[in-house]
């Protein structure tokens, strides 16, 4: 959510108001979809949920499609740049989830490699000593 606010604010500060509005609409759609999957569906499946709670979340999920249609219609009426911003805003949430998941999976591997290289023993350098030479007697 902070990432979408940061990008939307930066776009608005650069003067891209329509793109910023479209991006904000897309980010709201993406976060609403993520929220309904992570909160709404478990609340519908929960055995301890009351009838009113189940009906409320059921209605919320039934109204999900009209909310998407309405917000995308608003973004399309703002112009092509707002529609492109909405598409980018919709894609932001899944991209951040995928990036953070890959980082979470790769970080222990990278840290284990780093500690393995750090713990390798480095050869101890000894100071050079003077070498004395002797003449070799002739054979023969």
- In-domain check, residue 134: no
Query: What does the pLDDT look like over 5-25, one tens digit per residue?
Result: 777 777 788 888 888 888 888
- In-domain check, residue 43: yes
- In-domain check, residue 130: no
DSSP letter string, 34-81: HHIIIIIHHHHH-TT--HHHHHHHHHHHHTHHHHHHHHHHHHHHH-HH
Model pTM greater than 0.75? Answer: no
Q: Mean pLDDT throughout 49-53? A: 76
Query: What does the pLDDT look like over 111-137, one tens digit per residue?
Result: 776 655 555 555 666 676 777 777 777
Q: Looking at residue 119, what is its pLDDT?
A: 54
- In-domain check, residue 90: yes
Residue that is written with structure tokens 């591997």 in the block: 109
- In-domain check, residue 79: yes
Q: How many domains does the chain have?
A: 1
> What is the extent of the structural domain holding 22?
2-116
């Amino acid at each position: 959510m902070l990432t979408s606010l940061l990008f939307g604010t930066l776009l608005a500060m650069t003067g891209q108001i329509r793109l910023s509005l479209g991006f904000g609409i897309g980010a709201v759609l993406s976060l609403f979809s993520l929220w309904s999957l992570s909160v709404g569906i478990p609340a519908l499946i929960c055995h301890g949920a009351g009838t009113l709670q189940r009906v409320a979340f059921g209605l919320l999920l039934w109204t999900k499609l009209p909310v998407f249609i309405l917000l995308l219609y608003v973004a399309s009426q703002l112009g092509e740049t707002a529609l492109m911003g909405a598409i980018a805003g919709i894609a932001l949430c899944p991209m951040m989830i995928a990036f953070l998941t890959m980082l979470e999976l790769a970080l222990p591997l990278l840290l284990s490699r780093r500690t393995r290289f750090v713990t390798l023993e480095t050869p101890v350098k000894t100071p050079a000593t003077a070498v004395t030479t002797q003449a070799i007697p002739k054979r023969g």
